[in-house]
Structure 1
């Protein structure tokens, strides 16, 4: 199975990088093919320009980097997002990736004339997994902030455009938990991805 990982964290010593390593180790154990889109190393420009908006309207992407990402995802069986939660949502590069890469006519199409119902066009993708880190406790993130990232990405983007088999692994209170618990998380993630099936 081909797995495309979309990764966003600028600091190599971050826990997100440890998660990326655990996911990659697990996928290798499962004999899966990995294609890493590292937004920070790629110097991805998240800004939606006037030209990008026109391309969005015309359903014809023009940014060469975006076109490259889209072609790679089109060949994927499973898509993985790894990023931190900052101020209850995703960093700018992840948001820009969603805005500029999940594109009408490429990632999704419409099933009615009013353009209100959507269908997925990356038909080979059978599942999407999102892994996030945050320092907010899980109960607080749910009760006060309403699981904002789930609403924005899982429901408001992926489910809305017709993708199914969507999973979110939230690693909370990262700064507060002991090293042993972090290690347990990483071992569990590696084991999960070693057994990944769509």
Structure 2
């Protein structure tokens, strides 16, 4: 499979960075081709401009400023997201990636607003590798928006055809080195059998 890996963390020495490298290494070792999209390294601009918002429904002109990312998304058979959860949500850069890229004519067809159709039907697999500073029960209490975006929203954009996996490491603020190592190993194993 051709896998688009979307990574979002500004610090190269973070645990998220180590997880990102584990994802890349194991996907490649399993024989997948990988497009590594490191949003911070690429200088991705998460801000939707006034002009972009005004032209949001103007298909296909709306994709002009995001053309390279649209191409990368359309070539992908699978999507893997690696990111931390901040304030119980996606990091702002990743949220901006979703806001700007998952638009009409790319992620969904809204030509009939009463019958919106998914357009990412070529995507067969979705996975996320996510860290949380707080415990799992707190994420659940807050509604766990990142999990819902990956396992519900993205899956819906594939016409509910893609299988979605969510690998979460909760309560990073008190995690021991051995617990982090076990989680990293589980992520590596999941990516090694990714299909």
Question: Structure 2-normalised TM-score?
Answer: 0.91
SS at match of 2:173: coil
1:150 maps to 2:142: no
**What secondary structure is seen at the aligned counterpart in 2 of 1:58?**
coil
8 A contact 2:150–2:166 mirrored in 1: no
Report the alpha carbon displacement of residue 160 of structure 1 after superposing the two structures with TM.
Answer: 4.0
* Distance in 1 (alpha carbons) for counterparts of 2:129 and 2:117: 24
Superposition RMSD in Å? 1.6
Equivalent residues, number: 191
**CA distance in 1: counterparts of 2:44 and 2:129, whole angstroms:** 20
Separation in 1 of the partners of 2:28 and 2:9? 22
User: Are the aligned partners of 1:52 and 1:62 in contact in 2 as well (CA < 8 Å)?
Assistant: no
How far 1:135 sits from its partner (Å)?
0.9
Q: 1:1-198 alignment to 2 at 5 Å?
A: 1-59=1-59, 60=61, 61-63=63-65, 66-110=66-110, 113=112, 115-142=113-140, 144-155=141-152, 157-161=153-157, 162-163=159-160, 164-197=162-195
Flag structure 1 segments of 5+ consecutive residues without an equivalent. Answer: none
The alpha-carbon deviation at position 187 of structure 1 amounts to 1.2
The answer to whether the 8 A contact 1:55-1:62 is kept is no
Q: CA deviation at 1:23?
A: 0.6
